[in-house]
């Protein structure tokens, strides 16, 4: 009996020990499985983090590439702009050089033209010189008829015919009683023909050689107007001032005063 009890006790102890071993393994197995699961989760997180960082690195590389390309494009554009500016500078230098050359040529041409113009003016001055008087004489009646015919031609607007007749009168009757009148009407005829140069020549001859003529004052007035039409303002002012001094009370002098005042106002 005692032996049987002892056997049961030993069997119970053995069973109890085996049960404790199984429980310990179960607990350790759960811990191991939990640890493996934790490790896997950490590995997944690390892999996800690595993928994210790789994606970020790829994006940064792309942005860096874009920035570099833009930088290269900007540099190329800048170099192109610099090239254009250099071309413009070269063109400006060439244009400046051509302008200087043209200016020198123009200055030289003007000097040559001025000499030619002076010669032409001298020829014109000789051409517009009034008819030189001759030593011919004739009766007063014939001179009057000649003068009347010339004046009628002028009054009818036949200026070419009037000029021809007045010049013929001066050649035929150089010291006649109508000579001063002929020079005056020659001046008026040339003005009507827009030949200011010849008009000035005849008015100047009358003013210089016939100071006692009834046409002297008005001839001085018309001479000043002819000068003014040619922009010879100083000569206009000078002849009008002389007119005022010599014929102070004449209508021509009054007109000259107004003209001088207008010039001063301008």
Residues 116 and 176 in one domain: no
Tell me, yes or no, whether 12 lies in a domain. Answer: no
Q: Are 132 and 155 in contact (CB under 8 A)?
A: no
Most distant pair of Cα atoms in the chain: their distance:
209
Is residue 178 within 8 Å of 170, Cβ to Cβ?
A: no
Q: What is the CA radius of gyration of the chain?
A: 61
122, 198: one domain: no
pLDDT value at residue 133? 45
Share of the chain above pLDDT 90, in %: 45
Domain-terminating residue out of 110, 127, 144: 127
Residue with the bigger pLDDT between 130 and 105: it is: 105
User: Two tokens at 114?
Assistant: 């001025």
Give, in degrees to the nearest 5, the angle at Cα 217 between 216 and 218: 95
Examine residue 244 and state whether it is found in any structural domain, yes or no. yes
Q: What is the dihedral of CA 89, 92, 97, 99, to 10 degrees?
A: -170
In a domain, 11, yes or no: no
Looking up residue 250, the CATH number of its domain turns out to be 1.25.40.10
Q: Which two tokens stand for residue 248?
A: 């102070």
Last residue of a domain, one of 100, 127, 154: 127
**In which domain, by residue range, is 81 found?**
60-127
Claim to verify: residue 122 and residue 100 sit in the same structural domain: yes
For the segment 117-147, what is each residue's pLDDT rounded down to a tens digit? 555 545 444 433 444 444 444 468 899 999 9
247 and 224 in contact (C-beta within 8 Å)?
A: no
Query: Is residue 216 located within the same domain as residue 95?
Result: no
String of DSSP letters for 128-181: TSPPPP-S----HHHHHHHHHHHHHHHHTT-HHHHHHHHHHHHHH-TTSTTHHH
Among the candidates 96, 127, 158, a domain finishes at 127
Please compute the mean of the pLDDT values over residues 185-199 and round it to a whole number: 96
Q: Does the pLDDT of residue 88 top 70, yes or no? A: yes
Q: Has residue 10 been placed in a domain?
A: no
Confidence of residue 99 (pLDDT cuts 50, 70, 90): confident
**pLDDT for residue 258 is more than 90:** yes
Average pLDDT of the residues in 3-23: 57
| Number of domains the chain contains | 2
**pLDDT tens figures, 18-48:** 556 656 667 677 777 777 877 788 888 878 8
């Amino acid at each position: 009996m005692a032996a049987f009890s002892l056997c049961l006790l030993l069997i119970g102890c053995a069973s109890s020990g085996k049960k404790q071993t199984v429980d310990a393994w179960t607990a350790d197995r759960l811990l191991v499985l939990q640890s493996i699961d934790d490790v896997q989760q950490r590995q997944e997180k690390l892999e996800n983090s690595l993928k994210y960082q790789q994606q970020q690195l790829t994006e940064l590389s792309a942005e860096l590439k874009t920035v570099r390309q833009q930088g290269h494009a900007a540099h190329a554009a800048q170099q192109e702009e610099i090239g254009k500016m250099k071309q413009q500078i070269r063109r400006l230098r060439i244009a400046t050089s051509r302008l200087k050359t043209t200016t020198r040529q123009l200055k030289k041409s003007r000097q040559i033209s001025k000499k030619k113009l002076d010669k032409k003016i001298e020829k014109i001055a000789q051409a517009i010189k009034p008819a030189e008087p001759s030593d011919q004489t004739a009766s007063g009646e014939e001179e009057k008829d000649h003068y009347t015919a010339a004046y009628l031609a002028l009054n009818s607007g036949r200026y070419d015919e009037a000029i021809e007749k007045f010049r013929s009168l001066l050649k035929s009757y150089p010291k006649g009683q109508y000579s001063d009148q002929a020079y005056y009407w020659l001046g008026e005829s040339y003005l009507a023909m827009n030949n200011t140069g010849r008009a000035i020549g005849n008015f100047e001859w009358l003013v210089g050689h016939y100071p006692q003529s009834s046409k002297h004052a008005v001839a001085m007035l018309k001479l000043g107007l002819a000068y003014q039409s040619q922009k010879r303002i100083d000569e206009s002012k000078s002849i009008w001032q002389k007119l005022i001094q010599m014929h102070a009370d004449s209508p021509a002098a009054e007109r000259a005063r107004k003209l001088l005042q207008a010039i001063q106002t301008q």
